[in-house]
Amino acid sequence: MIGSADPWHVQNVPPDAVRSKSVVQFDPLPEIGREVADRYYRGAHTGYARRFMRAMPDIVSYHIGLATGGFDIAGGFAAPPPTFRYLTMRFATSAGLDIPAELADRLAEDHRVFLCNIRGFGVAESVRFDRLGRATSLQRYQFEYERTDDEPDAVSAERLDRQVSSIERLIGEAFGARLLVVDRVVAERRPLAIDQPGQRLSAELLPRSNRTAFISVYFDQEEWAQEWFGRDDVRAAVLGTGWSAVRGAKIDEECGLDRR
């Protein structure tokens, strides 16, 4: 039985209590592929992570997402997904995820079983459109934007501002649109190799990240999203111009825990 002292009872955390947010992405080990990696991730790894996070009230939310399709030439999501999985976490401290060294080692050892090419980003969240109401089931679409290694921060920030404004104007007329979230990358953690590249994230930050932002759009369901993304003006707005790479994904997202 869950007692009143259980940290899970720390609920309804006010929005201004969220001090930091992170986005992590990773690929499956090539030798086992997406299906086997996902079966293990869902069957063992994320459940273990979810249970220890439940006992850590500084973790405000934990969501996992499977990329099921990539943004395609026609404005749909029939292309191969740009990566395998994403996870998003919000914290009540500015330090982000702070776990004991023994637990961090245990998680990293488990990463050897199923993942590689991990990237971890600290982000600053901005909600630019919110029509959630009482919606309880949503379809998420995410775009990630990368700049060249030598582009000044001010240039990419200004370009992103213009692009977000364009998307914000268009989403207001989209039937079934619920939420527009902009996550500006403020730091990227250095990935470490174990057996394969990127199987652990170090505490050290990279001097600079070429990832500028993630933009996530949430709809009631796929049909209304496809109707909107299929428009030429919307396609131009989400892709923008001047980026070294833009990748879009349809994401099937699940909530691990959320104290908000």
User: How open is the CA angle 159-65-192, to the nearest 5 degrees?
Assistant: 75
pLDDT of 91 over the 70 cut: yes
Q: In this structure, how many other beta carbons lie within 10 angstroms of the beta carbon of residue 187? A: 16
pLDDT of 95 over the 60 cut: yes
How far apart, in whole angstroms, are the C-alpha atoms of residue 82 and residue 63?
19
| pLDDT given at position 210 | 97
Comparing 12-16, 192-196, 246-250, the range with the smallest average pLDDT is 12-16
| Structural domains for the chain | 17-258 (3.30.70.100)
pLDDT of 4 over the 60 cut: no
pLDDT of 1 over the 50 cut: no
Sequence-separated (6 or more) residues with CB below 8 Å from residue 8? 2, 54, 257
| pLDDT given at position 10 | 54
pLDDT in tens, 194-249: 999 999 999 999 999 999 999 999 999 999 999 999 999 999 999 999 999 999 99
| pLDDT given at position 122 | 97
Give the rounded distance of the alpha carbon of 38 from its chain centre: 17
**Average pLDDT, stretch 3-32?**
79
| pLDDT given at position 2 | 41
pLDDT of 6 over the 90 cut: no
pLDDT in tens, 159-187: 999 999 999 999 999 999 999 999 999 99
Q: What does the mean pLDDT of the chain come to?
A: 93
How far apart, in whole angstroms, are the C-alpha atoms of residue 232 and residue 238?
10
| pLDDT given at position 214 | 98
Residues, the chain, total?
A: 260
**Average pLDDT, stretch 18-42?**
97
| pLDDT given at position 164 | 98
pLDDT of 99 over the 90 cut: no
How far apart, in whole angstroms, are the C-alpha atoms of residue 77 and residue 217?
13
Task: For the chain, give the secondary structure using H, E and C.
Answer: CCCCCCHHHCCCCCHHHCCEEEEEEEEECCCCHHHHHHHHHHHHHHHHHHHHHHCCCCEEEEEEEEEEEECCCCCCCCECCCCCEEEEEEECCCCCCCCCHHHHHHHHHHHHHHEEEEEEEEEEEEEEEECCCCCCCCEEEEEEEECCCCCCHHHHHHHHHHHHHHHHHHHCCCCCEEEEEEEEEEEEEEEECCCCCCCEEEEEECCCCCEEEEEEEEECCHHHHHHHHCCHHHHHHHHCCCCCEEEEEEEEEEEEEECC
Give the rounded distance of the alpha carbon of 184 from its chain centre: 11
Residue 185: closest CA among 168, 153, 209: 209
| pLDDT given at position 9 | 54
**pLDDT tier at 3 (50, 70, 90 boundaries)?**
very low
The rounded percent of the chain whose pLDDT value lies above 90 is 86
**Average pLDDT, stretch 53-68?**
94
